[in-house]
């Protein structure tokens, strides 16, 4: 990647983060750095060196607020350090797993788990800085989790199903799948939900509800066209013309030449012939349209008639 492309990619990522998040992160980093530079002034126990030990403004409310400043700074320090560590871990995970579709899927799930754990750790650390007994809190949280878990079996089922999806490699981010009557590209596999995108719409499905999934990316896809010829036409002559010209058909999104497969059915108004070509699943609709047009043009150029429904009335 050139320097210009790298710069454009970096700018795009920065815009995605958003100016507010960048400003907040910058302020937190600045406060963290300054807190270590002026450590004794902020956290020292000597009232003559630290204005936060025994403030005396004459207003009790302001005195209490000033005493909280070191604690708030410690919270900012802790949160900043945690976010930096999490960011580094996320980058390592992305670099280690993000080169293949399966890697992107595992990376997405791991980063989702990290986000949940980060939120829990931040809450515990912040409460600990304010003097809350975190040991009792963690113990109580364990009991509460057990109680809540009994009433949140669907959430647990979603998490377990998501883990099985990833580690059994059923489908990955970037695959095209069909779930029920919805066909789309897998854009993310999270701890609780999987997102499919198609035609600008995103369908969010709980992992435990993903049943009977059809993965279209396990092999190359086939674009197919069924077209009728008149019963009056002599089939051997029609097939001779088709075999002569079918190799010249141009389908932009096909990965190989168009093939004539033979008679697919004997319809009410004509003989149905089948044409196919291989393509990528992402291009299957475009390939189908192009194949329809190519076959129709071939029939027109060679005088092969395409029938239309007719009703024959016999008068007694």
Report the mean per-residue pLDDT for the chain: 80
pLDDT digits (tens, 9 = 90+) for 201-210: 899 999 888 8
Residue from 229, 225, 190, 220 nearest 207 by CA: 190
Residues 199 and 236 in one domain: no
Check whether residue 206 and residue 228 sit in a common domain: no
Check if the beta carbon of residue 213 is closer than 8 Å to that of residue 170.
yes
Identify the domain boundary among 200, 215, 230: 215
Q: How confident is the model at residue 6 (pLDDT cuts 50, 70, 90)?
A: very low
Is 77 a domain residue? Answer: yes
Return the structure tokens found at 244: 């002569």
Average pLDDT of the residues in 228-237: 88
* Residue 47: predicted pLDDT: 61
pLDDT digits over 89-112, tens only?
877 877 777 666 667 777 777 777
How, if at all, do strands 221-230 and 176-179 pair?
unpaired
Top mean pLDDT of 130-144, 166-180, 254-268 is at 254-268
Question: CA 112 to CA 165: how far, in whole Å?
Answer: 15
207 and 230 assigned to the same domain = no
Q: What is the DSSP code (8-state) at residue 192? A: S
Distance, in Å, from the CA atom of 73 to the CA atom of 89, rounded to the nearest integer, reads 24
pLDDT at 66 over 80: no
Mean per-residue pLDDT, 27-34: 84
User: What pLDDT is stored for residue 14 in this prediction?
Assistant: 46
Determine how β-strand 259-266 pairs with β-strand 182-189: unpaired
**Total count of domains within the chain:** 3
pLDDT at residue 54, rounded to an integer: 72
Tell whether 141 is covered by a domain: no
Give residue 82's pLDDT band: very low, low, confident or very high (50, 70, 90).
confident
171 and 89 co-located in one domain: no
Say yes or no: 183 and 249 in one domain. Answer: no
Residues 228 and 245 in one domain: yes
- Give the side-chain half-sphere CA count within 13 A for 308: 0
């Amino acid at each position: 990647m050139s320097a210009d492309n790298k710069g454009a990619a970096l700018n795009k990522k920065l815009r995605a983060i958003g100016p507010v998040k960048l400003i907040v992160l910058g302020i937190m980093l600045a406060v963290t750095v300054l807190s270590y530079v002026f450590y004794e002034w902020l956290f020292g126990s000597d009232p003559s060196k630290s204005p936060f030990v025994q403030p005396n403004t004459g207003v009790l409310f302001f005195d209490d607020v000033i005493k909280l400043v070191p604690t708030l700074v410690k919270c900012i320090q802790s949160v900043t350090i945690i976010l930096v560590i999490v960011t580094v871990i996320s980058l390592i995970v992305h670099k280690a797993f993000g080169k293949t579709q399966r890697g992107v899927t595992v990376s997405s799930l791991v980063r989702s788990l990290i986000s949940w754990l980060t939120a829990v750790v931040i809450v515990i650390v912040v409460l600990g800085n304010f003097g809350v007994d975190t040991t009792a809190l963690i113990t109580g949280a364990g009991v509460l989790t057990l109680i809540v878990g009994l009433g949140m079996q669907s959430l647990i089922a979603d998490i377990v199903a998501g883990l099985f999806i990833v580690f059994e490699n059923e489908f990955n981010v970037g695959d095209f799948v069909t779930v029920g009557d919805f066909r789309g590209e897998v854009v993310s596999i999270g701890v609780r939900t999987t997102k499919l995108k198609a035609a600008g719409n995103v369908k969010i499905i709980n992992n435990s509800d993903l049943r009977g999934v059809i993965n279209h990316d396990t092999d190359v896809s086939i674009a197919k066209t069924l077209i009728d010829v008149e019963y009056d036409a002599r089939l051997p002559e029609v097939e001779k013309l088709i075999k002569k010209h079918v190799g010249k058909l141009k389908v932009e999104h096909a990965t190989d030449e168009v093939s004539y497969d033979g008679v697919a059915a004997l319809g009410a108004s004509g003989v149905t012939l089948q044409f196919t070509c291989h393509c990528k699943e992402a291009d299957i609709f475009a390939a189908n349209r192009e194949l329809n047009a190519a076959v129709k043009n071939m029939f027109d150029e060679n005088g092969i008639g395409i029938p239309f429904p007719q009703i024959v009335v016999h008068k007694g």
